[in-house]
Structure 1
Amino acid sequence: MPMYMRFGPEDLLRCRFAISPVFETHEAIRTLRRTERHGYHRPWLRSLGDAAAGLDLAPLWIFMPNPGPSYTPDFLGGPPRDTYTSVADGLARLRATDPALAHAEMTMSFGTIPGAAESPLGRKLLADPAAAISLMADLTERAWHVLVEPFWPRLRDLLEADIDYRARQLASAGLGELFALLHHRLSYADGLLTVSTKSRDRYERDLAGDGLLLMPSAFVWPDVVTGFQPPWQPTVIYPARGVGSLWAEPGTGAGQALAKLLGAGRAAVLAALDEPASTSALARRLGLAPSSVSAHLTVLKAAGLLTSHRERHRVLYERTPLGGALAAGG
């Protein structure tokens, strides 16, 4: 069911981007057992080996049933106050959660997960919310060290590059167009942001001057996440661009193999799209006729390897996650 967020004039001035290592850690935990998310993250899963097996994640997984959808308590990955929040600050904020708020959000979460509140673990967490906060913060910290910290430089580069790219999109296309470019489930018209989700519940929120926080994520792919309730700032988490090549390492002869698969011209066009580009720009870059490049782009887009969007007078093409993975030899 769609979720709706109503913008006022002040909200349009208070939209910002942020990165949250704590939220990314929880999405990594969720990804471990949500097979629909494995796709491009299989190299990461393989690199973990048996390390994740030593984590007892049950007190977090109880709020992340598979399959979903369900409501996960917002305090676990509350929207950060600053653009770049360290994991230490994020964990400190988690540990400082008001037990009454934690109890209310856990109760709301269990209301969307049949049988969770009556389970021994559910009863334990609800009986002592202060202890539950401490337990889940400790587990989050251990999961960070195992699942995310070894890869954080690579992940942070991806997320920061996405924010830089979205800032350029905002400058050229405006905020209304930006939402649709973030994810196909987002649309904006007449001051109303609509988010198409798998949730069974209807969610509406008047932003009331709080603005909107936009957070790129590697592990949220292929979903888009929203639904944060007061006192948390309204937030939309969307898949960062480039996730398809995040874990890919160039293989021996990857370029030649790609050329055999797609043909030399199409492989060259796909490889040249490290950044979005127009037909004419690609033609100049590759020394090909614009008509040839246009034909290659049409085929690559039809195969799901590219997407396109209009930016003023230009149509820009960029790789989909699948196209990025192929170009990287993954």
Structure 2
Amino acid sequence: MSFHLHFDESDLLRCRFALSPLWETQSAVRVLARPGQQGYHLPWLRRIREAAAGLPLEPLWLLMPDGGHSPDFFSPPPVGPLVSFEEEIAAVRAIDPELARQDIEASLRDRPEAWSSAARQELLADPARSLRELTDLLERAWRALVEPHWPRLRALLEADVAYHSRRLAAVGFERLLGELSPRLSWAGSTLTINDTKTRHSRVLGGQGLVLMPSVFVWPATVGGFEDPWLPAVVYPARGIGGLWTDPGGTTPDALARLLGRARADVLCALDEPAGTSALAHRLGLAPSSVSEHLSVLRAAGLLTSRRYGHQVLYERTPLGIALAVPE
């Protein structure tokens, strides 16, 4: 089966990338319940095992059927490119409880075994309370499972957006879609997400499309979101295979002697564009030290920088690449 998104000219002008800490949170919760999605994330699973054991995630899992409808209000597409978790969760708390009830009921229909359960009755009996309790649980999951690792995750997601933004300029929208995921295809004015477990169609109607890279969505590509949410496609971010690999031991000794160990480590850690805080977290250095090293490396012609939202992303120049990755 497949999911179809129908564009007009104005929609093509309103396509954009965005990151969503809330999406990553609910997607991380989903990974915990699905061993088939855990292969890339075993180091993360080991790190969060104790924290996850203390979370009562069953109400969220009940609304995450394997195929079918998951509540859109869990993680509506962000209205801006770099929203914080606090902004997103505040927006969810402000949702009309009746809208949440409809979303919950649609999800439970795809889990017939849950229709007669006490949990189902409890979720639907008091939508305002259910919304409050589910939102509180999502916030607890963020604090325990995702927030401690968010600098690392955000660095990978920002690198994905930087890379695909360049590819969009180089190859155009139609070819970019195929590079985002093999499950995406374009024909006429319709974007199709193939091999989904449901059949659905949506006319974008001038709202455009939000493209969201995700660490935890692999191997799926997710599309949809019904009104009143913005249309979105969530695709696996590049580089998740090395996400949990520490960069230690990758700096050539000769380069360390030339630049100094810390400065050489910063240069070698920039396999993908990254900001100061992400590099500091990855390397275990103070942000002020990393900022100083980045300034020196940029002044020496080894790095270039550009602004993305409120952050400055750094990446290696051809000279920096030649030094960091010698043949």
Q: TM-score, normalised by structure 2?
A: 0.75
Determine the C-alpha separation between the residues in 1 that align with 2:6 and 2:200.
11
AA partner of residue 134 (structure 2): M
Counterpart residue number, 1:311? none
Counterpart residue number, 2:255? none
SS of 1:161's partner is helix
Equivalence map 1:1-330=2 (5 Å): 1-65=1-65, 68-199=66-197, 201-250=198-247, 274=271
SS of 2:212's partner is strand
Determine the C-alpha separation between the residues in 1 that align with 2:250 and 2:228.
53
Q: Could you report, residue by residue, the CA deviation over 1:53-73 in whole angstroms, capped at 9, with x for unpaired residues?
A: 0000111110113xx112111
Change (3 A) 1:58 1:172: same
- Shift in Å, 1:111: 1.1
Change (3 A) 1:120 1:191: same
Determine the C-alpha separation between the residues in 2 that align with 1:26 and 1:240.
16
Q: Report if the CA contact (8 A) 2:183-2:221 is conserved.
A: yes
Change (3 A) 1:191 1:45: same
- Shift in Å, 1:170: 0.3
Change (3 A) 1:179 1:253: closer
Aligned length in residues = 256
Determine the C-alpha separation between the residues in 2 that align with 1:44 and 1:197.
28
Task: Tell me which moved more, 162-171 or 116-125.
Answer: 116-125
Q: Could you report, residue by residue, the CA deviation over 1:204-232 in whole angstroms, capped at 9, with x for unpaired residues?
A: 11111011110000000111111211111
- Shift in Å, 1:116: 1.7
Q: Report if the CA contact (8 A) 2:64-2:107 is conserved.
A: no
Where does structure 2 lack aligned partners over 5 or more consecutive residues?
Answer: 253-267, 273-327
Cα RMSD for the two superposed structures: 1.9
Q: Report if the CA contact (8 A) 1:166-1:178 is conserved.
A: yes
Determine the C-alpha separation between the residues in 1 that align with 2:109 and 2:51.
32
AA partner of residue 147 (structure 2): E
- Shift in Å, 1:117: 2.8
Q: Could you report, residue by residue, the CA deviation over 1:140-175 in whole angstroms, capped at 9, with x for unpaired residues?
A: 111001100100000000111110111000000101
Determine the C-alpha separation between the residues in 2 that align with 1:223 and 1:20.
17
AA partner of residue 187 (structure 1): S
SS of 1:5's partner is strand
Q: Report if the CA contact (8 A) 1:213-1:234 is conserved.
A: yes
Determine the C-alpha separation between the residues in 2 that align with 1:254 and 1:36.
34
Determine the C-alpha separation between the residues in 1 that align with 2:188 and 2:74.
33
Q: Report if the CA contact (8 A) 1:170-1:178 is conserved.
A: yes
Task: Tell me which moved more, 172-181 or 107-116.
Answer: 107-116
Q: TM-score, normalised by structure 1?
A: 0.75
AA partner of residue 167 (structure 1): S
